[in-house]
Amino acid sequence: MNDNFSQYVISQIDEGETIFDISQLFGGMNNFMSLVSKYPLLKQIIDEKLGGELEFETDVNDYFKRYKLPVQITGVEKADDFEEMYDIYVDVIIPEVIDESDIAILFNYLHHLEPDYADDWAYFNDRKFNFDTMTHVVSINGINWKDMNRFVNTTVEEVERIIPDKYEIWYIYIKKQNMKHLLNDLSEEEKNRIREQHTGGKKLVIENFNKLVNKKLGEVDEPNN
């Protein structure tokens, strides 16, 4: 294959085509990514398009924290159980975490969350991957789950210790008994109002979240400084 492949792909991107749609012309995402790997400059462009973010929360002693971690798509497959759904496999990129035990702890926590959040916890630069997809974490910093100690004991406190503060996007302190009632009373519409829509996914608006909490509880305890 010559440079015509690279030039064609770039022209399609310039015309506004998604990476997913382009990949279908070359046998699907996995085959397309294999072809792209032969062209370093093109791979750099595609890698940026296949990047995204994974959002999730932790809860320790009445503190609810939300994190956003960078991810990179490493594979895409058509879902077995749903005709129009795709499974997306990602590598979580958090270079500050280098200890293998810490990587295993973080993976275990994300793996624990996956069954409940796989359909809406990732937002990708290529908009096509933000709909009708299930996102699965298969590696962290390039270390595949098969090479991890997956039976290591994992606690939320350890997860919060491991993740650097730069990846924390908000936290809020609410007494557990109040939060329990708050979450039970929230309608789906109210939950959705916590976030605002943006191209390729959703973004939290802290002001809206605080307004919603204040509306439900009347008053929220502030953390001690």
Pairing between β-strand 168-173 and β-strand 63-78 as defined by DSSP bridges: antiparallel
In the numeric block, which tokens belong to residue 88?
């997306």
Kindly tell me if the per-residue pLDDT of 136 is higher than 60: yes
For residue 78, what are the β-bridge partners?
86
Q: How far apart, in whole angstroms, are the C-alpha atoms of residue 20 and residue 28?
A: 8
In the numeric block, which tokens belong to residue 139?
């590696």
pLDDT of residue 198: 39
User: What SS3 class is residue 146?
Assistant: helix
Percentage of residues in the chain having pLDDT higher than 70: 72
Q: What pTM was computed for the model?
A: 0.69
Q: Which of 131, 20, 127 is nearest to 9 (CA)?
A: 20
- H helices of 37-99, in order, are 40-49
pLDDT of residue 1: 46
Pairing between β-strand 86-92 and β-strand 133-140 as defined by DSSP bridges: parallel
Number of neighbours of residue 71 by Cβ within 10 angstroms = 26
Write the pLDDT tens digit of every residue in 142-196.
988 777 766 667 888 999 999 999 998 877 765 554 555 555 566 666 656 554 4
pLDDT of residue 197: 43
pLDDT of residue 8: 93
Averaged pLDDT score across all residues of the chain: 79
- Arithmetic mean of pLDDT, 37-57: 91
Percentage of residues in the chain having pLDDT higher than 90: 35
Q: Which of 51, 183, 171 is nearest to 122 (CA)?
A: 51
pLDDT of residue 119: 87
pLDDT of residue 174: 58
The residue ranges of every structural domain in the chain are: 3-49, 51-169
- Arithmetic mean of pLDDT, 124-142: 90
Write the pLDDT tens digit of every residue in 186-216.
666 665 655 444 334 444 445 555 555 555 5
